[in-house]
Structure 1
């Protein structure tokens, strides 16, 4: 964060200073919400959660080097006291971004936000210092924390915006007003909370509504609900996709033998060939969105194509592909799941497994429930199970409760290999099954909604031990 005095911060957030010997002391470290992440000069924001109250860790944070605490009550340590820590954090983020004058790029969508954010960041970082969120920090707390990492050297700030209701994206966009807004797609994620795709589109489109007249709305030409958002913005519109009228489009899209997308990338200033390191055809649309942003900010198409071909996975548990020493390939895509991302992952698995199946290897889909689908849950889980059969996935392992059993039921009802699907109770049961059944050449996809914690299956398969403690990463 840019260096600000405690007095300046108190004025920005409308807070009252307590136990601060010198208001001129500056925050020179990061703003954090976890006392374990405190560094010298940090500002520790104390949030009261359902299980842990950050106020209880205020003294520990100051002892670790925090210059002050942002809190809702005096704590006997240097503190700026406000009525609402979340609101204060947002006001601080907005003030910092306004002072910096950084180019803000914001994106939203039902699927692919984090992967696309990572691609945009890798492209823009080649040109100038860029800040972007690790993982999926896309809510009312994560977004301002990301914005507050920007410094005087930062030229690009890339922000991911999620929503669970109307008005959420508008609120985030007002905290850090973007000039470039990207809408990727409108799918089924959180459909149970929104009530339908039209309502999701209404919420996602809030991003383009707040763009300034000299801004740019980057919209998916292949998604009718997103394309229609062009009428909701006063900003200039750039369309991306495979549609013939898209400003940034992909031609001759195909997958390599290992399941990596290749295509001809075309922009208003020229075309160039791309072969990505990422897995799955769904990354083509993500790459086009990233291209539209980079092209708008002055990158030539050949440089963009090279950057896309070299880009890797920055965020954990999103199509992480690791080959074990015995030839078994594990695909950890367990960070989250919705119907669209499930279908994309299954198609990627099918593509990756074609070569191995020709040599006797098998494809395994280890799938858990998709959350927040409301009345659509049964139909969507059934459809995913059926798709696994149609893609000739060798084995389906459905993990978890009722929704997982619907995955198995869909596979069974599709016919052809009902006996090749199995329902197990939990992650440990899945690990036990896989360890007894896997053989060299097999490809295993692990995917479910984040709350299920199915990434533990992938980690256990790669580490060769029991399910490890939550939060341990894959050794690659």
Structure 2
């Protein structure tokens, strides 16, 4: 964190300094809500919880070197007292962002936010000290927590901007106003919060609309809803795409073994990219990241080299590994919506395999009245991709089976335990298996396969 005295922090969060704290003491470390991570010069954020109350660990944090604790009830160690700890960390993040000279890059979209943010973070790190959202820690705690990690030397701050309703992205932008805003796509997701794809587009457009005239909006030219956002932003617009005449484009795209190759085209020249990431959807993610790096002054050769070196940084996202018996596992189980499910199924269909292609698919959540049709379409996509066997897991996934007429073997199972038992019986050496579903709905299946990898070594 940018060094600040307790008096400055108290003013930023509208808090009261305890009598046991020194207002002139300087916080030089980071802010942490996990007392185990607090170090000398740090600031501890005590969050009340249903099972664990952070206030109970304030003394431990102090013993580990915390200068003070942001607290909402009385504690024995040095404290800054506030009414609401989450509001306090957001207010502190605003102050950190104002004091920082870092270029702020915001990434949003219905699909691919985390993977693209990871690519942008790796490219930016090749240009200077970078702070980026960890995993998809992008909620009301994770966003300001990430901003507060910015230090005096930070040149780039890469933030994943998620929303479940209108106004959410604007609220995040107000904490750390982006200089560069990336919109990847608009798809069917979180309909419980948005209600329709049109409302989703309106929510995602909050990012380019927020940008100042001197800012830059990076927009997917191949997504009509995103491309139209150029009309509503005051910022400079840079486009990326494959099918259109975009500023940053991919030509001669080849699937390879599932890790795609393409020629990166920029206004400054061309360079060859060979991705280490699995799946064709990463071509768009890579183009978005390339557009950011090009905007920051990187050459096409530098961008292509770094994209070709970039790896997966977040768990359960297109994590491809091979078991000792030659079975290949695609763990894309972190989350799912119609677009990401389709992308994962296409990847399974493209991967070379000595055996069968098997898809273990869980429910896609938050689809409301469109759930049946969206799940039926998943079955159709499995048929189109040449999947050999499909296992649909849990209630609500029956339409996947009804749509999968072209799949030779289809089975609906009630839960993950049943899916694991079925895999034990049917999985053969050389098969390739995809595991995907909305949060937690296929995690046990993926973990079972990963444990098999570890146990069979």
Q: Could you tell me the TM-score, scaled by structure 2's length?
A: 0.96
1:263 Cα deviation after fit: 1.1
- For 1:416, what is the secondary structure of its paired residue? coil
CA distance in 2, matches of 1:436, 1:164: 40
CA distance in 2, matches of 1:77, 1:426: 48
Query: Where does residue 107 of structure 1 map in the other structure?
Result: 107
Per-residue Cα deviation, 1:403-433 (whole angstroms, up to 9, x for no partner): 222222322xxx2336x11112222222222
CA distance in 2, matches of 1:193, 1:165: 5
CA distance in 2, matches of 1:474, 1:220: 43
1:78 Cα deviation after fit: 1.6
CA gap of 1:13–1:475, structure 2 versus 1, over 3 A, is farther
Query: Where does residue 372 of structure 2 map in the other structure?
Result: 378
Moved more, 272-281 or 48-57: 48-57
Moved more, 204-213 or 424-433: 424-433
Following superposition of structure 1 onto structure 2, how do residues 155-304 of structure 1 map, counting pairs within 5 Å? 155-256=155-256, 258-304=257-303
1:147 Cα deviation after fit: 1.1
Query: Where does residue 310 of structure 1 map in the other structure?
Result: 309
CA gap of 1:25–1:66, structure 2 versus 1, over 3 A, is same
Partners of 1:13 and 1:88 within 8 A in 2: yes
Partners of 2:116 and 2:288 within 8 A in 1: yes
Q: 2:388 aligns with which of 378, 391, 394?
A: 394
Per-residue Cα deviation, 1:112-139 (whole angstroms, up to 9, x for no partner): 0000001111111111111101100112
CA distance in 1, matches of 2:342, 2:125: 31
Query: Where does residue 468 of structure 1 map in the other structure?
Result: none
1:31 Cα deviation after fit: 1.1
CA gap of 1:193–1:328, structure 2 versus 1, over 3 A, is same
CA gap of 1:417–1:321, structure 2 versus 1, over 3 A, is closer
Partners of 2:382 and 2:407 within 8 A in 1: no
Partners of 2:266 and 2:300 within 8 A in 1: yes
Q: 1:464 aligns with which of 431, 452, 456?
A: 452
CA distance in 2, matches of 1:46, 1:35: 9
Q: Could you tell me the TM-score, scaled by structure 1's length?
A: 0.92
Query: Where does residue 326 of structure 2 map in the other structure?
Result: 327
CA distance in 2, matches of 1:450, 1:61: 32
Partners of 2:21 and 2:79 within 8 A in 1: no
CA distance in 2, matches of 1:111, 1:250: 19
1:273 Cα deviation after fit: 1.3
Greater than 6 Å deviation, 4+ residue runs: 473-476
Q: 2:433 aligns with which of 444, 447, 452?
A: 444
Q: Which runs of 5+ in 1 are unaligned?
A: 466-472
Partners of 2:384 and 2:406 within 8 A in 1: no
Per-residue Cα deviation, 1:336-392 (whole angstroms, up to 9, x for no partner): 11110000000011111xx32xx4x01111111111111111111111112111211
Per-residue Cα deviation, 1:247-304 (whole angstroms, up to 9, x for no partner): 1111121200x21111111011111111111111100110110010000000000111
CA distance in 1, matches of 2:127, 2:236: 23
- For 1:157, what is the secondary structure of its paired residue? strand
Query: Where does residue 428 of structure 1 map in the other structure?
Result: 417
1:54 Cα deviation after fit: 2.7
CA distance in 1, matches of 2:5, 2:70: 13
Q: 2:406 aligns with which of 397, 412, 416?
A: 416
Query: Where does residue 406 of structure 1 map in the other structure?
Result: 399
Q: Alignment RMSD, CA only?
A: 1.9
1:19 Cα deviation after fit: 4.2
1:464 Cα deviation after fit: 2.2
Partners of 2:93 and 2:144 within 8 A in 1: yes
Partners of 1:19 and 1:76 within 8 A in 2: no
The reply on whether 1:150 has 2:145 as its aligned counterpart is: no
1:50 Cα deviation after fit: 4.6
Q: Which runs of 5+ in 2 are unaligned?
A: none
CA distance in 2, matches of 1:243, 1:49: 49
CA distance in 1, matches of 2:365, 2:456: 28
Query: Where does residue 470 of structure 1 map in the other structure?
Result: none
